[in-house]
């Protein structure tokens, strides 16, 4: 399914190396770690599908199962907090398998001395987010480590959802001719977190796009859109999501820069900070790869869903050598998008 | 199902307080946090069952779902390491619901600078443990935080298992007359971790009891033993497991000190350190509450399973006011066992 020659992830070089921030950044080093260490260790069909959630069979049912740890700093940011992120993030990973999110677990690691009042705020936020997303948090665990051994609070959530369709929504289902649909404007989450972390006040306040994505995905399924792959554009942003799919699906993707919605304040902030918005994390945006003939219908369904008014068709899968993402600029120039090397925005989720 | 009057967990006093190590210790403060903060926030039947794993229905099947984060320090100890613990610990929480463990997730939080060689050791250990326990690790996540913001490595695992029986294995199913069966000798894990952490060399080396428990539980199910409740004796040890069940099941439990197996080196180490072995963490021991008439059969099945040669019947559930655990000493004296207040052995799992 995968063409290793396209991988070009030379890290880890050697096991005498140490973990760097980049190993968790969603870019080249993280992919190297996954491909060289985790995949060989745990090789099984569900893991090898390389998707946001594993799809497994149990008692005759297809279930999606996923996990994410959240280490965002600071814990509270414009438009959200670690609790909301921990619920919606995992709900979204289930949605990206086309699953209906059902149950969540929550594992908290707390630093000794963390204020109970802040814990209460985070728990209230998780409760509200779970209600909005229609999931039940049914099991949990709390660990406390001595002061200085963790940074305030980390949360892991795992989630289970029911896969009630027969599609195989995964990178390997992507085909030349597929339309690439982006669900909304990009870059809000990363810039919102960065602004509060660095104490930068932009002209207009930028709020995280943190939101649950199961409802618009369900609309696409209900409309029988031929979905080939879905991916939320979190760590590493839109560019990394596309590159991962190009690599894992062995396809060539071409997108148009002009057609990618970016809000003016986000564009200005990125310019000011020298950051490429294509690589900035989102927490409420996804790309859908759909059969070319379903392009217009996908846009109509998403725009009518109430949560994706800016959904846009940004490109196509091309019949060319796989593993490559190119972006056509306003002047017709072609730029090859690469996985980021190093870490741009640590602890963004 | 629960009698709040028996709870006696006055913490958190006020939300101006801060998190203490005791909030993660499996004792009084942790129970207070769960009962006062988490339970009201996420009240649902699965969570309110107060068991190691939630049992939920999905697509007509009964599934067990659980999570635990592992923050043990040091990462490697006699008889195990954080990876083995993270696999067996979550497998065991599924087993305690009488579920057949099927799938695990793994979320790693790594500190920048953590040696890749040690990560490789942990991953190899997880792989081996998963193979032994017959579970597939199908989904994962890696986050990296800056140096000094976490202590080397934390692992969260969540697990899904199939509940293929119709029993309700939970504290509320415990009845007067039930026999209390302990699967083996206690205290090894906590003392093993403590010995290496504190650099204490005991006369004989004490090795963690870390082991998967799904197989002996399956044997009990196959033998149609009338299981009422199962609980592994992890944080807070045997005593805390019994007290939790007494509180949540509103039952009185009486155990005999003489009948609790403790290896001599563990007993000596506990005496030397001034630690009560009843409260020391185990990672491969459980208590089973079974219908009184099934006492002998339970012992036979466990002893024949190959992994519980020292299984012992240690007490009975009494027809008395609930929420209480008493222990009869060698001289006939009765001691009431209380949830620990404060933290005895931080970061034991």
Model pTM score? 0.94
- What ipTM, to 2 d.p.? 0.94
pLDDT at A16: 57
Backbone angles phi, psi at B263, to 5 degrees: -65, 145
Nearest residue to A111 (alpha-carbon basis) of A71, A155, A150:
A150
Phi, psi (5° rounding) for residue B188? Answer: -65, -45
**Per-residue pLDDT reduced to its tens digit, B120-145:** 999 999 999 999 999 999 999 999 99
The pLDDT of B251-269, averaged and rounded, is: 97
The CATH homologous superfamily to which domain B50-162 belongs is PurM-like, N-terminal domain (3.30.1330.10)
B66: contact with A, CB 8 A cutoff: yes
Q: What is the dihedral of CA B95, B97, B232, B220, to 10 degrees?
A: -60
Alpha carbon distances (Å) from A152 to A86, A346, B7, B190, B211: 15, 16, 29, 26, 32
- Give the C-alpha separation, A280 to A197, whole Å: 15
CA distance A85 to A220: 23
Asked if the bond preceding B178 is cis, omega within 30° of 0, the reply is no
Token code pair at residue A327:
């972006």
Of B16, B116, B136, which has the smallest distance from its Cβ to A44's Cβ? B136
Nearest CA in chain A to B46: A138
- pLDDT band for position B2 (50/70/90)? very low
Domain parsing of chain A, residue ranges:
50-162, 171-337
A58 to B63: CB separation less than 8 angstroms, yes or no: yes
Mean of the per-residue pLDDT values for chain A?
92
Contact A213, A286 (CB under 8 A): yes
Compute the distance between CA of residue B179 and CA of residue A10 in angstroms, rounded to an integer.
Answer: 59
Q: What is the pLDDT of residue B16?
A: 57
Establish if A110 touches chain B: CB-CB under 8 angstroms.
Answer: yes
Choose the mutation target among A53, A107, A114 for the interface with B, i.e. most B CBs under 10 Å: A107
pLDDT at B14: 57
Residues of A with Cβ-Cβ distance to B66 under 8 angstroms: 105, 139
Taking residues A19-37, report their average pLDDT: 92
Residue A190 has pLDDT above 80, yes or no: yes
Cα maximum dimension of chain B: 57
Please check the confidence at residue A9 and state whether its pLDDT lies above 50: no
Using alpha carbons only, what angle is made at residue B82 by residues B221 and A107, rounded to the nearest 5 degrees? 75
Averaged pLDDT score across all residues of chain B: 92
Residues in chain B: 349
Please judge whether A107 and B66 are an interchain contact, meaning their C-beta atoms are less than 8 angstroms apart.
Answer: no
- Name the residue in chain A with its Cα closest to that of B141: A68
Q: Mark which residues 32-51 of B lie under 8 Å from A by CB.
A: 33-34, 37-38, 41-42, 44, 46-47
At residue A294, does pLDDT exceed 50? yes
Residues B64 and A20 sit within 8 Å (Cβ to Cβ): no
The pLDDT tens digits of the residues spanning A209-229 come to 999 999 999 999 999 999 999
Going edge to edge, which strands form the sheet with B100-111?
B54-58, B61-70, B153-162, B100-111, B136-145
Kindly indicate the confidence band of residue A48, based on its pLDDT and cuts at 50, 70 and 90. confident
Note the pLDDT of residue A153: 98
- Cβ separation of B151 and A149 shorter than 8 Å? yes
φ, ψ of residue A137 to 5 degrees: the values are -90, 110
Flag the least confident range among A197-201, A297-301, B21-25, B283-287.
A197-201
B97, B168 in Cβ contact below 8 A?
Answer: no
Least confident of A9-13, A157-161, A319-323, B259-263: A9-13
Q: What's the DSSP call for residue B115?
A: B
- Among A63, A68, A142, the residue with its CB nearest the CB of B141 is A68
Contact A124 B47 (CB under 8 A): no
Whether residue B25 and residue A144 make contact (CB cut-off 8 A), yes or no, is yes
- Structure tokens of A310? 């800016």
> Looking at CA atoms only, how far is residue B89 from chain A in angstroms?
12
What pLDDT band is residue B6 in, cutting at 50, 70 and 90?
Answer: very low
* pLDDT of A343 above 90: no
Res. A320: pLDDT tops 60: yes
pLDDT of B344 > 80? The answer is no
* Residue B21 to residue B236: CA distance in whole angstroms: 13
Quote the Cα angle for B56-B349-B235, to 5°. Answer: 70
pLDDT, tens digit, 9 for 90 and up, residues B154-168:
999 999 999 999 999
Angle at CA of residue B301, ends B300 and B307, nearest 5°: 105
* pLDDT score at B343: 80
Q: What does the pLDDT read at residue A203? A: 67
* pLDDT above 50: residue B28: yes
Backbone angles phi, psi at B8, to 5 degrees: 50, 55
Q: Which of A130, A144, A235, A344 to mutate to test the interface with B (most CBs of B within 10 A)?
A: A144
Position A14 confidence tier, pLDDT thresholds 50, 70, 90: low
CB-nearest to B15 from A67, A117, A144 is A117
| Average of per-residue pLDDT across B286-315 | 97
Query: Residue B7 pLDDT > 70, yes or no?
Result: no
Residue given tokens 């209460």 in the structure block? A120
Q: B171-337: what fold? A: Phosphoribosyl-aminoimidazole Synthetase; Chain A, domain 2 (3.90.650)
B115 touches chain A (CB under 8 A): yes
Instruction: Answer yes or no: is pLDDT of B298 > 80.
Output: yes
**Tell me: the pLDDT tens digits for A58-104?**
989 999 999 999 999 999 999 999 999 999 999 999 999 999 999 99
Q: Under an 8 A CB cutoff, do A111 and B19 touch? A: yes
Residues in contact with A104: Cβ distance below 8 Å, sequence separation at least 6, in sequence order: A87, A90, A91, A130, A135, A136, A137, A138, A157, A158, A159, A160
For residues B43-70, average pLDDT: 93
**Which residues of chain A lie closer than 8 angstroms to B142, CB-CB?**
23-24, 30, 33-34, 38
For the segment B214-238, what is each residue's pLDDT rounded down to a tens digit?
999 999 999 999 999 999 999 999 9
């Amino acid at each position: 399914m995968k063409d290793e020659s396209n991988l070009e992830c030379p890290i880890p070089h050697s096991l005498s190396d140490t973990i760097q921030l980049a190993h968790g950044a969603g870019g080249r080093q993280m992919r190297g770690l996954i491909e060289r260490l985790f995949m060989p260790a745990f090789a099984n069909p569900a893991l090898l599908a390389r998707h946001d959630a594993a799809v497994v069979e149990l008692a005759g049912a297809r279930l999606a199962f996923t996990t994410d740890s959240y280490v965002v700093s600071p814990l509270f940011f414009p438009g959200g907090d670690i609790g909301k992120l921990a619920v919606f993030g995992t709900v979204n990973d289930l949605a990206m398998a086309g699953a209906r999110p059902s149950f969540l677990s929550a594992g908290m690691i707390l630093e000794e001395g963390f204020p109970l009042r802040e814990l209460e705020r985070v728990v209230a936020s998780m409760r509200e987010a779970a209600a909005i997303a229609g999931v039940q948090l049914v099991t949990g665990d709390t660990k406390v480590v001595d002061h200085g051994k963790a940074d305030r609070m980390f949360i892991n959530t795992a989630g289970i959802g029911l896969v009630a369709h027969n599609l195989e929504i995964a990178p390997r289902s992507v085909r030349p001719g597929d339309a690439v649909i982006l669900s909304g404007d990009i870059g809000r989450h990363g810039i919102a977190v960065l602004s509060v972390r660095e104490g930068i006040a932009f002209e207009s306040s930028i709020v995280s796009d943190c939101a649950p994505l199961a409802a618009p995905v369900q609309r696409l399924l209900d409309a029988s859109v031929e979905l080939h792959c879905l991916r939320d554009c979190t760590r590493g942003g839109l560019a990394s999501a596309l590159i991962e799919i190009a690599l894992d699906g062995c396809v060539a993707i071409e997108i148009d820069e002009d057609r990618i919605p970016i809000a003016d304040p986000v564009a200005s902030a990125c310019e000011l900070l020298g950051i490429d918005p294509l690589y900035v994390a989102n927490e409420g945006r996804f790309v859908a790869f759909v059969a070319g003939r379903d392009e217009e219908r996908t846009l109509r369904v998403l725009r009518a869903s109430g949560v994706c008014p800016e959904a846009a068709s940004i490109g196509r899968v091309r019949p060319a050598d796989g593993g490559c993402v190119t972006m056509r600029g306003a002047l017709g120039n072609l730029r090859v998008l690469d996985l980021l090397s190093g870490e741009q925005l640590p602890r963004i989720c």
